[in-house]
Amino acid sequence: MTLHTALEGTGPRLALLHPVGLHGGFLQPISHRLSNRFQVLRIDLRGHGASPLDPPSLTMAEFADDVHQTLHQAGFAPCAVAGFSFGSMVAQELAIQHPADVSALIALAGPCSWDAQQRAAIAARGTDALAKGMEAVVDATMARWFTPGFRQSRQALEARNTLLQRDPQGWARAWQAISELDTEARLRGLRIPALCVAGECDVSATPEAVRRIAAAIPGARYAALSSAPHMLFIEQPEAVAALIAQFLGELNLPRLD
């Protein structure tokens, strides 16, 4: 599986992974703000953006394997990896399964596990779209993603339109993988710098859920953005980029470009 990528900037390598239903283009404001200090690779995950949907991927490990193969095909490993929501889950799995790929992990607005009741509700987000179309899930998704005052912004409406144009098959496959997420115990074996970032107003990946990641990874840092929702990188791109730049800048990662 070769994933679609976009590259900009010079400096230490940083890969960005997007949320479910969107694509790497939504991370361009973050990439642009970081490209004066880092070489930034935005990746469209399988079934998203310009990356192919088939063959089907139903597990988080498969999504992570796609990223592993793409990083090596691009000559971009090792690199720091920042993942947002679904991208955070894929980034965690990548660091666990392919530790040599990841020099630093930044997990933003995503959990590391679910309880049984949550797993069933999350899987239903995919099956509901298969049965009724993306129109059946888009309003609830927007309510989880954005603060009320931001939902009519250009950026939020662009996200909404992108969701409505999604293939429900790709959406359902991703939510099946999300429903099976379980990295918490395995994160304890990581030995890399890690930053875990939550939005204080996030109802999808609450601050408590993100703190669990930081507690599991030895030496990991935790930060919360004031007034930020789940799509914190869309509503607060400057603050998110500043957190990433500060964290990576302190690590003195080598320039490999």
Asked whether residue 256 carries a pLDDT value surpassing 70, the answer given is: no
Residue 46 within any structural domain of the chain: yes
Asked if the structure places residue 18 within a domain, the reply is yes
Residues 6+ positions from 253 with CB-CB distance below 8 Å: 12, 13, 80, 103, 104
Q: Which residues, 6+ apart, have CB-to-CB distance to 159 below 8 Å? A: 21, 22, 26, 142, 145, 146, 231, 234
Query: Is 173 inside a domain boundary?
Result: no
- In this structure, is residue 257 part of a structural domain? no
The answer to whether residue 42 is domain-embedded is: yes
- Report yes or no on 143 lying in a domain: no
The pTM of the whole model exceeds 0.95: yes
Asked whether residue 86 carries a pLDDT value surpassing 90, the answer given is yes
**How much is the average pLDDT of 113-135?**
95
Residue 36 CB-density burial (10 A; 0-12 exposed, 13-18 middle, 19+ buried): exposed
The domain containing residue 55 runs over which residues?
Answer: 5-113+182-249
Q: Which of 242, 207, 210 is nearest to 227 (CA)?
A: 207
Number of domains comprising the chain: 1
Mean pLDDT of 29-37: 97
pLDDT digits (tens, 9 = 90+) for 201-242: 999 999 999 999 999 999 999 999 999 999 999 999 999 999
CATH number for position 73: 3.40.50.1820
Kindly state the average pLDDT of the residues 24-36. Answer: 98
**Residue 58's pLDDT is what?**
82
